[in-house]
Chains A and B, each alone.
Chain A
């Protein structure tokens, strides 16, 4: 199993540009999570999906951020327009939902907004 796949691994962009981060969860997993990690704020949950439906987006910082999960094998996190304070490592994770199951994290996308 390839694990959770994220692309790109690194992204450098200029302020004001649109950024799209991609995630492919582990096959068979029905929950998907997007996190952001910075030195100042640590690991924050942005949004999560269950069976492709957004369940909780209370962690999404503002309207510039949006996430979609069009099918069970693909999700995107979009930032438009991007700002320097969005610079962070963004992690995607997936799991089979349930109290005994572990969450599997991808390698992350390091985003730098200049």
Chain B
């Protein structure tokens, strides 16, 4: 399974943008880049995913490097509710499409 590397933790101030980086230098052409997050005492929840182009949805934006070896999850205005562990995952549907969770980035948001 292709691996991802994320910082262990990051801090942000409320109402400021947050850029969460992810490196995936061994990504293959059939890997989709998925982001999930896990709020305290809850199950993970889907945030966003992309293949090659940048993506936007109501929760966040995903910026994908041209060579696809890295990506950045962007929260445009962090709120206290965004404090969670964020997981960057490569999902290869040709290999069954399993989600393999790493350690993720623990984001804390200060008021």
Interface string of A13-38 (1 = CB under 8 A from B): 00000000000000000000101000
* Known pairs A42-B102, A42-B103, A99-B32; A105 contacts B43 (CB<8 A): yes
When the two chains form their complex, are residues B43 and A108 in contact, meaning their CB atoms are under 8 A apart?
A: yes
Give A43's nearest chain B residue, CB to CB: B101
List, in ascending order, chain B residues with CB within 8 A of A55's CB: 96
Find out whether the CB atom of B98 lies under 8 angstroms from the CB atom of A45.
yes
Question: What's the Cα separation between A26 and B45 when bound, in Å?
Answer: 14
| B contacts with A, residue count (CB < 8 A) | 21
Which residues of A are found within 8 Å of B17, using beta-carbon distances? none
Q: Evaluate contact between A91 and B97: CB separation under 8 angstroms.
A: no
B contacts with A: majority SS: loop
- Contact between chains at B45 and A105 (CB < 8 Å): yes
Chain B residues whose CB sits within 8 angstroms of the CB of A51 once the complex forms: none
Chain A CB within 10 Å — which of B44, B87, B91, B104 has the most? B44
Contact A93 B98 (CB under 8 A): no
Interface of A is mostly: strand
Quote the shortest CB–CB distance from A4 to chain B (angstroms).
8
Determine if A106 and B98 form an interchain contact, defined as CB atoms under 8 angstroms apart: no
B13-57 CB mask vs A (1 if < 8 Å, else 0) is 000000000000000000010001010001111100100000000
**Given known contacts A42-B103, A99-B32, A99-B93, A48 and B44 CB-to-CB distance under 8 angstroms:** no
Contact with B along A80-113 (1 / 0, CB 8 A): 0000000000010100011110111111100000
Whether A45 lies near B100 (C-beta < 8 A) is yes
**In this complex, what residue of A is CB-closest to B101?**
A43
Given contacts A48-B98, A98-B93, A102-B46, list 17 more A-B pairs with CB under 8 A. A33-B99, A35-B101, A43-B44, A43-B87, A43-B101, A44-B101, A45-B100, A48-B96, A56-B96, A91-B43, A93-B44, A99-B97, A102-B49, A105-B44, A106-B43, A107-B42, A108-B42
